[in-house]
Every structure is written in C-alpha cells, then in structure tokens.
Amino acid sequence: MTNWIKEFIVAPGTNVKLAELDPSFKDPKLSKEDALKDIEKLKAKSDDLQFRLYSEQKRSVLIVLQAPDAGGKDGVVRHVIGSMNPQGCRVVSFKQPSSEELAHDFLWRIERQAPRRGEIVIFNRSQYEDVLVTRVHKLIPKTVWKKRYEQINDFERRLHDEGTHIIKFFLHISKDEQLRRFKKRIDDPARRWKISESDYSERDLWDSYQKAFEDAISKCSTEYAPWFVIPSDHKWFRNLAVSHILATTLSNIGIELPKPSVNLEEIRKKYHQEVVESKRELHN
C-alpha cells in the first residue's frame, strides 16, 4: 500500500493551491473491493491502538476534520472512526457559536473540548471556522482574523507539548461533486434532512472559501500539527487514505500497555486455589 502520509501531508511552509490538487485522485492499482478490505483491517488496527492509548492514560489524540459542505466529514466519522470504543473516543461538532461562546475569545469553546489523556477526540469542524466562515462572510475585520492563524498555531503547539498528537484532514472535493451529493440528498428521503438553504447560497462563495481553506492549511500546517489534503470525490478512497494515516500515526506514537498494578503470581495462586476448591466441592 502506498504511504499516504507522504502523499498527502502538507509540509510546513508550503503554499497550497487546491486547484492544482486533483480531488478525484485514486490509486489506479487499487480496486474499490480491495480498498474496502484494507479499510476493515486498518479499522481493526486503529481500534486496538485506541484501546492501548486509553489503557496507557499518558497521551491523547485530536483529529480535526474540515471540508466544504457535503465534503464527507460525517462519512469519515461513521466509516473510519465508528468502530472505536466510545468510552475513549468522542466526536465534537462545532456549530454557530452561542451567545455565551461569543462572550469569550474564539478559542474558549475549543479548549473546553480538548481531549483528556487516553482519549481520542474528533472535531467535526473546529477552531478553523474562525478563519473560514468569519472571513468569507466578513463577520470580523481582516485585522482580527489575520492574527488568528498564529493564535491557532500557539494553541496547537501547547496541546502537543502537553502530549496531544494532532492530525488535521481537509477533505478535498470538486464543486461538481458537491452538487452531485446535494442532488443525492434531495433524492434520498433518509438524507433530505441534511439539505438547507445555505448549502446552495454558500456555493456562490466557493472561490472565497477555497482561498480561505488554502490560507488556513498553508499557514497552519506544522510539524507538531500537520494538515493532510485528502482527495475525496471517491468516498472509498477518502476512507482508505484517512484510515491509513490514522493507523500509521497511532502506531508511531509508541503506545505501551501499562504494567499490572498487582502481583500476578499471587493472583495466579489464588485463582488456582479457587479452581482446586471448586473441583473438590463438586466431587463431594
């Protein structure tokens, strides 16, 4: 399998141009059927590593998902991360800020949801909304949102220094693919609830959003919190790439199961003694 980390990671200092990256890319040597099998294996691997992370209680993982509308954030959560034990895994969706949240600095609501030790947290939308929506819709002055890139970098650096490993995925889809997905939602009664007026009105701002995404990725892909731009027109390939990057990242952390807190030899002796006594009672 190709090393998707090297393929899709954004090196620090890179000036990202999304128009130059093919959202419909897929490995020509890989069939969808083979990819689905690989995804199941990678999910099992990540599930085991998540159990170890939860047991270790020393480090944590933050996964950030950003994408245009219908880009596949919910799909990634469902297909890639859905197999993990919810005891140690949490999904946080950031909607329009409440009045209480607006009364604080923009990172206040984000910091409150940061992962605890041993936990994996997925941000479905994130701190980056405050250099995307606020910028595109001119909700705050440019002098304000320009400072936020460095503030976000400082926030992520602090999390990393405290033991949180950060992986950020931008799910890159084409404008045509977005329209196809909107149509599927309209045609599917089970998905119509997802359609909103803003889905179509926001399409008029596609170019502005693409530029905002480019700047956020370019300015905030760091060694301690890298961005990955994932071609996402093909959902199965998107899931494969994200699964691979997640499993590889978890493997490289070096998670170790904690040592037993009891004397195993004493526990074994007690167990053996109980078994012997149980058999004796059965014979009597």
Q: Dump pLDDT digits (tens) for 34-92.
A: 999 999 999 999 999 999 999 999 999 999 999 999 999 999 999 888 888 888 999 99
The structural domain count of the chain equals 1
How many other C-beta atoms can be found within 10 angstroms of the C-beta atom of residue 184? 12
| pLDDT score recorded for residue 83 | 81
Question: Chain-centre distance of CA 215, in angstroms?
Answer: 20
Higher pLDDT, 67 or 6: 67
Q: For the domain that residue 187 is a member of, what is the CATH number?
A: 3.40.50.300
* Banded pLDDT at 262 (limits 50, 70, 90): low
Distance, in Å, from the CA atom of 248 to the CA atom of 270, rounded to the nearest integer, reads 41
Phi, psi (5° rounding) for residue 70?
70, 15
| Stated pTM of the model | 0.90
pLDDT of 276: 66
The predicted pLDDT at position 68 comes to: 96
Six token digits for residue 203: 């399409």
Query: For residue 223, is pLDDT > 90?
Result: yes
- 167 bridge partner residues: 63
Overall average pLDDT of the 269-281 stretch: 70
Per residue in 231-254, pLDDT (tens digit) is: 999 999 999 999 999 999 999 998
Which segment of 3-7, 12-16, 100-104, 148-152 scores lowest on mean pLDDT?
3-7
Q: Is 90 exceeded by the pLDDT of residue 166?
A: yes
Range of the domain at 23: 4-283
- How far lies 258's CA from each of 51, 54, 58, 250, 267, in Å? 12, 10, 10, 17, 17
Report residue 223: phi and psi, to 5°: -65, -35
List strand residue ranges (DSSP E) for 53-130, in order: 60-66, 89-93, 120-124
